[in-house]
Amino acid sequence: MPTLTFIEHNGTTHQVKGDIGQSVMQAATFASVPGIPADCGGACSCATCHTYVDEAWLSKVQAPEGMENDMLEYAFERRDNSRLSCQLIISQEMDGMVLHLPSSQF
């Protein structure tokens, strides 16, 4: 089970175990990491599961494509390392990955 680290905007850190094939969003919400409302439940329709992939881990994930990229344009404070966590599927390669949460999702 890969372990992911979520760092809230205020610095609070959460270590979360995720299943391979599960979305990063679900791993986080299942572990009650705050600040990810994920209103649409992973349908890539709400942009309230926005996270920043830590720069050191960017090579392990692809750049957002198509509809995710379009949705992200309207996410709160988008950056180059922004991803919608419901579209990030956990793989063994991601073990240890660090993700940062934005100050708001709306």
The site for another protein (CB under 8 A) is made up of: 22-23, 26, 29-30, 32, 34, 37, 39-45, 47, 67, 70-71, 73-74
45 binds ligand FES (CB under 6 A): yes
For residues 36 and 105, is the Cβ–Cβ distance under 8 A?
Answer: yes
Look at residue 30 and give the partner it binds from another protein, ligand FES, none, a contact being a CB closer than 5 to 8 Å depending on partner kind.
another protein
Beta bridge partners, 52, equal: 82, 100
Stretch that binds ligand FES, among 2-10, 33-41, 57-65, 97-105 (CB under 6 A): 33-41
Report the interface residues with ligand FES, using CB under 6 A. 25, 38-40, 42-49, 84, 86
